């Protein structure tokens, strides 16, 4: 079923990114950069994440939660996800089971979303840097983008490694620092992505083909809310 795109929210058109605060000085010398979440934004990875997440309960002899309940938490740190369904003592073993299973199955069904390669190619051709800021650990995130063929289309992949996760802006800022980029837009499919982008001083683009509903995304007041990434080029 097609869903009509949701355009700019009622609070009006986003300010041009160059009018927003930059994370460092020397804006004119930095290349304009777009920051993307990974899972649910650039790649459709939900089936593989859920399969590994639920498989871990089997290894511990625990009842699986409902898939819909688990889906609602995808994008949060793994310990938070398991903590919502299991005793505290089981969180670490469940996380370990996930991390053993997922790398063996992370491309069973995962593929880039339609139009992603074309968008990333267009951005490079027009002088934009393209970086990822994900809750995944950096090693796993880089393995995933390489496995699905996105590595040549990205300038940096930044995971969340022993520092605060989204909605804190740390991973966004580190991704920008890695390429000395001037952040323009944060593009993501969750409320945490949007809040992290705002905290980093970027304009925010919510895409509705991920795990959260349009109503949930709208509550974060992104500058743009769309069902795909097609309109992003028009906003640059």
For residue range 152-166, list pLDDT tens digits in order: 999 999 999 999 999
pLDDT of residue 101: 96
Q: Which two tokens stand for residue 111?
A: 């593929």
Tell me what the mean pLDDT of segment 169-192 comes to.
Answer: 98
Q: Which one from 39, 44, 48, 223 is the annotated catalytic residue?
A: 39
Cα separation of 1 and 4, whole Å? 10
Residue 132's Cα: distance from chain center in Å? Answer: 7
Alpha-carbon gap, residue 189 to 104, rounded angstroms: 25
Residues in contact with 112: Cβ distance below 8 Å, sequence separation at least 6, in sequence order: 42, 43, 44, 148, 149, 150
Average pLDDT of the chain to the nearest whole number: 90
The verdict on whether 108 is a catalytic residue reads no
Percent share of the chain, pLDDT over 70: 88
List pLDDT tens digits, range 5-55: 444 443 333 444 444 444 544 445 899 999 999 999 999 999 999 999 999
CA–CA separation, 144 and 100 (whole Å) = 15
Which range among 73-82, 114-123, 137-146, 226-235 shows the weakest confidence by mean pLDDT? 73-82
Catalytic residue among 37, 44, 189, 223: 37
Write down the pLDDT at residue 28.
54
* Position 138 confidence tier, pLDDT thresholds 50, 70, 90: very high
Q: Is residue 210 very low, low, confident or very high in pLDDT (cuts 50, 70, 90)?
A: confident
Global pTM reads: 0.83
What CATH architecture is 46-105? Orthogonal Bundle (1.10)
Query: What digits encode the pLDDT tens for the residues 95-130?
Result: 999 999 999 999 999 999 999 999 999 999 999 999
Confidence of residue 75 (pLDDT cuts 50, 70, 90): confident
Alpha-carbon span 56 to 220, nearest angstrom: 32
17-44+111-235 topology per CATH: Rossmann fold (3.40.50)
Mean pLDDT calculated for residue range 174-202: 98
| pLDDT (average), residues 178-205 | 98
> 91 with 82: CB under 8 angstroms?
yes
pLDDT computed for residue 10 by the predictor: 35
**pLDDT for residue 211:** 85
74 against 203, higher pLDDT = 203
Domains of the chain: which residue ranges?
17-44+111-235, 46-105
For residues 223 and 211, the model is more confident at: 223
User: 162 φ, ψ to 5°?
Assistant: 60, 35
161 is catalytic: no
């Amino acid at each position: 079923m097609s869903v009509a795109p949701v355009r700019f929210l009622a609070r009006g058109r986003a300010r041009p990114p160059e009018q927003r605060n930059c994370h460092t000085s020397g804006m004119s010398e930095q290349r304009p950069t777009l920051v993307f979440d990974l899972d649910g934004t650039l790649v459709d990875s939900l089936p593989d994440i859920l399969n590994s997440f639920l498989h871990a309960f089997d290894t511990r002899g625990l009842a699986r939660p409902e898939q819909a309940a688990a889906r609602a938490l995808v994008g949060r740190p793994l310990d938070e996800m398991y903590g919502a369904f299991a005793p505290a003592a089981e969180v670490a073993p469940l996380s370990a089971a996930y991390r053993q299973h997922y790398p063996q199955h992370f491309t069973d069904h995962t593929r880039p979303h339609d139009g992603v390669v074309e968008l990333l190619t267009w951005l490079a051709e027009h002088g934009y840097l393209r970086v990822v800021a994900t809750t995944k650990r950096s090693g796993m995130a880089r393995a995933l983008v390489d496995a699905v063929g996105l590595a040549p289309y990205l300038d940096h992949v930044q995971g969340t490694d022993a520092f605060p996760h989204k909605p804190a802006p740390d991973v966004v800022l580190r991704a920008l620092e890695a390429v000395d980029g001037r952040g323009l837009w944060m593009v993501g499919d969750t409320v945490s992505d949007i809040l992290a982008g705002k905290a980093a001083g970027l304009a925010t683009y919510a895409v509705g083909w991920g795990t959260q509903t349009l109503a949930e995304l709208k509550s974060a007041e992104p500058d743009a809310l769309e069902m795909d990434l097609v309109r992003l080029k028009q906003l640059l």
